[in-house]
Amino acid sequence: MLAVVFLYLCFTATMFLGSLILTANHYPYFVAGARFFASGIILLSMYAVRHRKSIREQLPQLWCVPFFKYAFCLYTLSAVGFSWGMQYVDPIKACFVFVLAPFITALLLYFLKNEQLTRKKTIGLIVGFSAVIPIILESAHENASSSELNMAMLGYLVFGCAVVSFAYGWILNKEMHGVVHAPSSLVTGVALVVGGGTTLLGCIVVQGRSLFEMQVTEDFWWLLLLFAILTAGAYNLYSSLLKRFSATFVSFASFLEPAFGLMYAAIFLGQKVSTVSLFSLTVLGCGLYLFYQEELRLQ
């Protein structure tokens, strides 16, 4: 149970760390690529140390279309969207929007895979989405960016699209495991390298020499390294927790992310927890509870 709590402490920390990096250094594509590429290298290095003999036999399994679709969707498209959006989205609000991923997954499965969406699940979806509206409209947490309203709204739109891509990426992950039978830590590590590497390659092609002349803050590279380590740790822990707990329980525990977001803001940024934030958190928790109670019943 403590491991689940630590997982969402890490995920919440990545939101705040990403916001800290990107509001001072406006290189979202490079940050997205470097973060995931470095995270993948860390995970693969750890895996190679423990499984030196078997890794060469397992890697060829990943050379297939389902794997590359999953890696591109989850670690390129969504990563770029998250990084670009975080320039304009308050990290607290980002935590609330990100928790909508399970609801979006259910909608995608309903429309793309014809999976059942019961009345109780639908009510949970509506309640969950409704909970996020007040926190987005609230103006108490606009410390992350001084951009104009139109850029802020565009930031939320891009971040929301990234959440959709993230949710679809996990659907592709499930499809991929139908043909790929390699360990999840190896799959995640290689996918991070492929997704992050694709983003970095795109940066080099588009930005050319200017990419190597970036004007960054003194602590940029250390923060980016910490960002990559946190990402690697969080994704590796997520994979291991799915072996110990049900996916339903781990997903329902995502309710902790906005709660920790409010706590981080209060401790590190000196922000007061507003009534609107507490209201949104409570309603979101009710929506998640309704949704996952029905999912448990169906299982």
Tens of pLDDT, residue by residue over 248-268, are 677 778 889 999 999 999 998
Residue 139's pLDDT is 64
Q: 268: Cβ–Cβ under 8 A, 6 or more apart, which residues?
A: 16
Residue 111's pLDDT is 92
Residue 144's pLDDT is 44
- The sign of the torsion formed by the CA atoms of 142, 145, 150, 153 equals negative
* 3-state SS track over 80-102: HHHHHHCCCCCHHHHHHHHCCHH
Pick out the chain residues at pLDDT < 70: 139-148, 246-248, 299
287 contacts 151 by C-beta, under 8 angstroms: no
103 contacts 96 by C-beta, under 8 angstroms: no
Residue 207's pLDDT is 82
Distance CA 264, CA 8 (A): 12
Environment class of 2 (CB within 10 Å of its CB; exposed 0-12, middle 13-18, buried 19+)? exposed
Six token digits for residue 96:
């609330």
Percent helix, percent strand, percent coil in the chain, to nearest 5: 80, 0, 20
Residue 145's pLDDT is 47
Residue 274's pLDDT is 87
For 270: left if phi > 0, alpha if psi spans -120 to 50, otherwise beta; the answer is left
Six token digits for residue 222:
């250390």
